[in-house]
């Protein structure tokens, strides 16, 4: 594979992540439905996770798994992709899941009380 092509691809991954995030932001900031907002927030998370994983990857890296003979072959260490972002993404996904769950629970509660999912009408608390 051509290296320049790969670097384009690299940018493409970053770009995709950013675009996904922007879509998420659009959903969260512009859409009036509570559900769409929650979905937007999740999409932001997904984009972000994609970005993080992309940061940790580099060309030709192997999976960062410790195996037998790891210490003897020092080269293999440098060929591994960075494990830390992956670990972080795992955590972030879990947290994002939790937050989404809470948000959805609240959406249910709000719908029960207000009878609507339009965020513009849920403005009891202001000023």
Partner 1 sequence: MNTIYIIFLIFLGGAVFTYFAGKIHKVLQDILFLVSILVPAYLFFANVEIGQNVNLTLGGISLSWGINYFSWLFSLIVLGLGSLAAIYAVGFMKGEKRRGYFYFNFILSIMAMTGILLSRDLVSFFVFWEIMTWSSYLITIYNGNKVQSIGIKYFVFSAIGAYAMLMAIVMVHHITGSFLIGDMIHAYPAMALSMQIWIPIMFLMAFGVKAAMMPLHVWAPGAYSNAPMAYTSVFSGALSKMGIYGMTLVLVTMVNHIPQGVWFREVLAWLGGITAVIGTLWAIQQDDAKKLLAYSSVAQLGYIITGIAIGTELAMLAGLFLAVMHALFKGTLFMVVGAIEKQTGTSNFTEVTGLIRKMPWTFLSALLAIIALAGIPPLGGFVGKWMLYESLITSNHYLLVIVIFFASTAAFLYCYKFLFGFFMGQEEKEWAHVKEAPAVMVLPMLIMALFMLVLGTFPGIILNPINHGLQALGYADSYKHLWDTSIILNSWGNKVVLQPILYSIAGIFLFFIAFLTWKGYKNTRFISTKDISSSGEVPKEDENLTFSVGFMQPFYRAVEPAMRRQIDKYYNAFADGLEATFEFLRRIYTGNGQTYAIYVIVFVVVMLLFKDFLF
Partner 2 sequence: MVGTPVLFIAIPLMAAFLIPLLGMIWKELVRIVPGLVLTYLLILSINLLDHVLAHGPIVEVIAGWGPPIGINLVFSALSGFLVVLMEFLGLLVWAYSYRFKRNVDYEPALKYFLMLMMLITGSVGIVLTGDIFNMFVFIEITSISAYGLTAFYKGRNSAEASFKYVMMGSVASTFLLLAIMIIYAQLGTLNMADIANKIHLMNPTLKIVSYIFFVTALGIEAEIFPLNGWAPDAYAEAPGPVGAAFAGIVVKAAVYAIIRYTYTIFDLSGTFNFLIIIGMITLIIAETAAIRQEKLKRMLAYSSIGQMGLVMVAFGFGTEEGVFAALFLMLNHAIIKSLLFFSGSYLTYNSTDKKISEVNGMSKFLPITSLLFALGAFAIVGLPPFAGFWSKLAVMTAAADSNMILIMALVLIVSVVELVYYLRVVNRVYFYKKEADVKPKRPTVNALIVMITLGAIILLVGFYPDAVTGLLHKASAGLMDKTQYIHNVLSVR
Residues that bind partner 1 (CB under 8 A): 25, 28-29, 32, 37, 119-120, 122-127
List the x/- string, 72-91, binding to partner 2 by CB under 8 A.
----------x-xx--x--x
Q: How far apart are CA 13 and CA 34, in angstroms?
A: 29
CB of 48 to partner 2, least distance (A): 6
CB of 8 to partner 2, least distance (A): 19
- Residue 41 as a binder of partner 2 (CB under 8 A): the answer is yes
Residue (27 or 56) nearer to partner 1, CB: 27
- CA atoms within a 13 Å half-sphere pointing along the CA-CB vector of 24: 17
Instruction: Name the E strands within 13-119.
Output: none
- Residue 50 as a binder of partner 2 (CB under 8 A): the answer is no
120 exposure class (CB count in 10 Å sphere: 0-12, 13-18, 19+): exposed
- Residue 109 contact, options partner 1, partner 2, none, Cβ 5-8 Å cut-off depending on partner type: partner 2
CB atoms within 10 A of CB 48: 19
Residue (40 or 56) nearer to partner 1, CB: 40
Q: How far apart are CA 98 and CA 111, in angstroms?
A: 20
DSSP 40-54: HHHHHHHHHHHHHHH
List the x/- string, 6-35, binding to partner 2 by CB under 8 A.
---------------x------x-----x-
């Amino acid at each position: 594979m051509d290296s320049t092509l790969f670097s384009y691809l690299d940018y493409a991954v970053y770009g995709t992540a950013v675009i996904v995030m922007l879509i998420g932001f659009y959903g969260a900031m512009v859409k009036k439905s509570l559900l769409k907002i929650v979905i937007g927030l999740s999409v932001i998370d997904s984009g972000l996770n994609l970005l993080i994983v992309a940061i940790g990857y580099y060309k030709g890296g192997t999976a960062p798994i410790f195996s037998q003979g790891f210490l003897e072959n020092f080269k293999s260490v440098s060929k591994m992709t960075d494990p830390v972002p992956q670990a972080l993404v795992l955590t972030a996904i879990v947290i994002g899941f939790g937050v989404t769950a809470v948000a959805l629970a609240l959406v249910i509660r709000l719908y029960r009380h207000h009878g609507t999912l339009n965020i513009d009408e849920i403005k009891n608390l202001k000023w």
